[in-house]
Homo-oligomer: A and B are copies of this chain.
């Protein structure tokens, strides 16, 4: 297999993880701006793309043309660029592409569990906690989680969340993401953490994910590498591989 963006932080971590995996062989490690022909020439069956938003879509189309399966962790994909890949794959029936915004198994499971639990609880809120050098609040993961919870509540015809607050200091009740409150904590020493709190009269369910290091993404990347060849077409999100039913 091949790694694109092999000199980057995520890419180099993937290179080491592949080298440590006895069932995988690394045949090409390509820096972000090198030519992709090396991937095909080396005979790679699967490529992992952790490059940059401006390069990733071009990489995918080029390697799909060459019959190489792809696992894509680069950010910047939207509905339009995903649709173009889906169309392209319709003409290449044996090729599989998996695009996922998050490869940490625990984070993906936390989000999936929160969405499934949401319809059974009267209340739900999200707290995300990160290091204080982060520039955006809430985190993308927390926004996705809150949106998925809101969609699950809407599908179950649940009404607005109970909240009797009438006197509030500005900001105390957090940000409103599709009607779900999200609180962003910034604390030196933390990395990336998310907590979903669900409550009914007399009980609470808490789902928490702690990410301490980017090595936590490797089991998810390797899982995708091993499965993408047997999943033709476009797959979006690692949760599709996790057999949660």
Question: Are B201 and A186 closer than 8 Å at their CB atoms?
Answer: no
Chain B residue with the shortest CB-CB distance to A215: B202
Which residues of B are found within 8 Å of A245, using beta-carbon distances? 244-245
Taking a contact as CB atoms under 8 Å apart, the answer to whether B165 and A134 are in contact is yes
Q: A33 within 8 Å of B by Cβ?
A: no
- Contact between B203 and A199 (Cβ–Cβ < 8 Å)? no
Contact of A162 among B169, B177, B186, B191 (CB under 8 A): B186
Whether a CB of chain B sits under 8 angstroms from the CB of A122 is yes
Residue of B nearest to A207 (CB): B207
Of A125, A181, A184, A214, the most chain B CB neighbours within 10 A belong to: A184
Complex alpha-carbon distance, A166 and B133, angstroms: 10
Most buried by B among A120, A137, A202: A202
Residues of A within 8 A of B (CB): 104-107, 109-110, 113, 116-117, 120-125, 127, 129, 132-138, 161-177, 181-191, 197-219, 242-245
